[in-house]
Structure 1
Amino acid sequence: MKSVLAVMGIGFAIVAIGATASAQNPPREIAGYRLGSNISAYGDRIGTENAYAVRLRPYLKEAAVSVPEGFASGYVVYGVCAAPGTIVRIKVKYEDEGRAFFDRLLAALKKQYGEPSQYVGDPFQAYVAWKWSFDVSKNEKITMILSHYDGDDEEHTQGNALKLSLTSQIAQESRCHEAQRRKEQIQDSTGTARFPAPADAEAWRRWLPAP
């Protein structure tokens, strides 16, 4: 019962400050973690010892975090190239997995930050997701996605979840990684490429999917 009341409190808190907040003040913090801050500020609340590289994005690492009452779990994603340790994404799952709670959260977020920029869920609404995009400045862009899922696909987080992303910093991390990768591929002093491409069509086959 105590956990349920705590989750309800989260929703009420969002509604309570909705009247004074606006899209000019984009969301940056949830469950005690803030976009743009460094993981070093949170001590052992972030499990960096078990962090791992984000799939297809080696310039980012993901680590589980401890969360306050009312949340079931969470993680942060941070950069390892342009600004090592800087938090670029925060995702939390709420303890209450019900659709009614999701609808209350959605209404509260609309009141605080305005209407979502787009619907990013599926057309059948098994996976319901709304996205807000905030162009804070030329160099700072933030997105927020509120989602609800009640299905068997492990691709989506079960229940209710909220994700904040500092997309401008993610782009910087990507550019930094690409610059480093290109440096590693430049030709050495003898003029031989460090990673030469296969010289004949037969050699290419190992890189191509078979029928």
Structure 2
Amino acid sequence: MRRIVFLIMTLTVLFSMPAQAAEGFPSTLAGFTLGEPVEHYKSYCRMERAVSVSDAPFLSEAQLKPDALPGVRGGSLAFGNCKSEGRLVRIKLKFHDRGQGLFNKLYDRYEAAFGKPDKYEGDAFRNVIAWQWSFEDGKGGRVSLVLMWSRDREIRPGVSIKMTQETLLDEEYACYKASEQGGGMGRGMTKIHSLDAYMPH
């Protein structure tokens, strides 16, 4: 009797486990694999025009070529430029189809594969609907996956996907901070002399 109860409990736990645990740690999206050298994907993006990300100078970003992928109108590949230079940290994709119907289809597929999302990142008025899934591999590796639909012209209108290797992102940021403090990158902080210049008039 105990064996039967134990077997039932084991099967219940296994079938209730999140899909990511059963299927492995996700790291690839549309043929791009996080952590790989971005040079592997130079035929898909404009590497010669790669620039530092304005709000994250420890990353460089190369825009995808138009129609490099079927149904994709744009996006970018972001890669480290400090600790692990050239390793792919983030993938962003924007689709030609900007309708909420595509978003809903992708959401249903994601929920079936990965379970309910871990966080809502959209706004309260649903002008931007964004759901985030978070994954851990048990070895300190972390990946976040954000599926977004927007009708806000300033926040990627339409349907987009963002997948980030959070562990590599943290490593690049730590490297940047250490270099900045050592005088190797950036000019450090400056002080505001007067608030008058920052008053709109």
TM-score range, shorter chain: 0.7 to 0.9
Deviation at 1:209, TM superposition (A): 3.3
- Deviation for aligned residue 1:197: 8.9
Q: Against the structure 1 CA distance between its residues 55 and 196, is the aligned structure 2 distance closer, same or farther, given a 3 Å change threshold? A: closer
**Cα contact 1:27–1:164 (8 A) shared by 2:** no
Relative to the length of structure 2, the TM-score reads 0.79
Range with bigger deviation, 68-77 or 140-149: 68-77
User: In structure 1, what is the Cα distance between the partners aligned to 2:189 and 2:166?
Assistant: 33
Seen in structure 2, the aligned counterparts of structure 1 residues 205 and 31 have a Cα distance that, compared at 3 Å, is closer
Q: In the comparison of the two structures, how many residue pairs are matched?
A: 174
1:114-166 per-position Cα deviation (integer Å, ceiling 9, x unaligned): 110011100111100000011223421100000001133x1x11100000000
Q: Residue in 1 aligned with 2:38?
A: 39
Higher mean alpha-carbon deviation, 142-151 vs 44-53, is at 44-53
- Quote the RMSD (CA, aligned, Å): 2.2
1:119 partner amino acid? Y
The corresponding residue for 2:70 is 69
Name 1:160's counterpart in structure 2. Answer: 159
Deviations 1:165-202 (A, max 9, x none): 001101000111111122227xxxxxxxxx8999xxxx
In structure 2, C-alpha distance between the alignment counterparts of 1:196 and 1:124, rounded to whole Å = 38
Task: Quickly say closer, same or farther: Cα 1:209–1:78, change in 2 above 3 A.
Answer: farther
Distance of 1:145 and 1:100 partners within structure 2: 17
CA distance 1:162–1:196, shift in 2 (3 Å): closer
Identity of aligned residues (%): 26
Partner of 1:209: 195
Change (3 A) 1:117 1:183: same
Unaligned runs of 5+ in 2: 1-17
Aligned position for 1:49: 48
Question: Partners in 2 of 1:32 and 1:54 — Cα distance?
Answer: 23
Aligned equivalent of 2:95: 94
d(CA) in 1 for partners of 2:188 and 2:35? 38
Select 1:23's aligned residue among 14, 20, 24.
Answer: 20
Partners of 2:145 and 2:188 in 1: CA distance: 42
Aligned 8 A contact 2:181 2:188 in 1: no
- Which position in structure 1 is the counterpart of 2:11? none
Alpha-carbon distance between aligned partners in 2 of 1:180 and 1:118, rounded to the nearest angstrom: 33
Once residues 102 and 188 of structure 2 are traced to their aligned partners in structure 1, the CA distance between those partners, rounded to angstroms, is: 55
CA contact (8 A) 2:120 2:132 kept: yes
Runs of at least 5 residues in structure 1 that lack an aligned partner in the other structure? 1-20, 186-194, 199-203
CA distance in 2, matches of 1:88, 1:104: 26
Aligned runs of 1:63-142 on 2, under 5 Å? 63-66=62-65, 67-142=68-143
- The answer (yes or no) to whether the contact 1:26–1:113 under 8 Å persists in 2 is no
More off after superposition, 30-39 vs 122-131: 30-39
Secondary structure of the corresponding residue to residue 85 of structure 1? coil
